[in-house]
């Protein structure tokens, strides 16, 4: 799954419009950001429940992927999540010879205000769920 993670991170960090929304190259963390991380940021998490289908020597694997945009204001979180959805929804990303990823959005963007940081500033999130299909050809 490292190739999937790297392909998604490359797509996110290489997107200039998303970088513009987030004020620079997007910081992407897996599962949890360190306490010292500056906002805004992106958390990428591969879900459980992977499903494999084998046919004619080929394999397709379905992997649930979630993204959480975390920012100091709700507009930044929502705008970044909308851009990320536009970037990855129905996207096809190459992994290697004979392998590719096709992503589809599986839910709408879910905004929230989960709480406050250590400085008592409000923190906002916008979550995006995708399903990535990894196709491996023989």
The model's pTM is 0.83
Q: Which stretches of the chain score pLDDT less than 70?
A: 97-98, 116-120, 138
Q: How many domains does the chain have?
A: 1
Q: What is the mean pLDDT of the chain?
A: 85
Cis upstream peptide for 46 (omega within 30°): no
pLDDT of residue 97: 61
Distance (Å, rounded) from C-alpha 86 to C-alpha 59? Answer: 27
pLDDT of residue 59: 82
Do residues 61 and 103 lie in contact, with contact meaning Cβ atoms separated by under 8 Å? Answer: no
HEC sequence for 11-69:
HHHCCHHHHHHHCCCCCEEECCCCCCCCCCEEEEEECCCCEEEEECCEEEEEEEEEEEE
pLDDT in tens, 80-119: 999 999 999 888 887 776 677 788 888 788 887 777 666 6
What CATH number is given to the structural domain containing 108? 3.30.2000.10
pLDDT of residue 117: 65
Distance (Å, rounded) from C-alpha 135 to C-alpha 43? Answer: 24
CA 18 to chain centroid, in Å, comes to 12
pLDDT of residue 116: 66
Domain with 55, as residue range(s), is 2-136
Do residues 18 and 26 lie in contact, with contact meaning Cβ atoms separated by under 8 Å? Answer: yes
């Amino acid at each position: 799954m490292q190739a999937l993670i790297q392909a998604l991170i490359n797509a996110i960090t290489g997107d200039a419009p998303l970088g513009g929304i987030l004020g620079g190259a997007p910081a992407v963390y897996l599962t949890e950001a360190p306490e010292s991380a500056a906002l805004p940021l992106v958390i990428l998490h591969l879900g459980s429940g992977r499903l494999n289908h084998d046919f004619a020597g080929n394999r397709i694997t379905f992997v649930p992927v979630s993204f959480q945009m975390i920012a100091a204001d709700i507009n930044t979180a929502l705008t970044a999540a909308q851009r990320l959805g536009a970037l990855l929804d129905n996207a096809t990303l190459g992994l290697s010879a004979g392998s590719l990823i096709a992503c589809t959005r599986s839910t709408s963007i879910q905004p929230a205000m989960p709480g406050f940081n250590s400085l008592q500033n409000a923190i906002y999130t916008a979550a995006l769920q995708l399903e990535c299909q990894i196709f491996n050809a023989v």
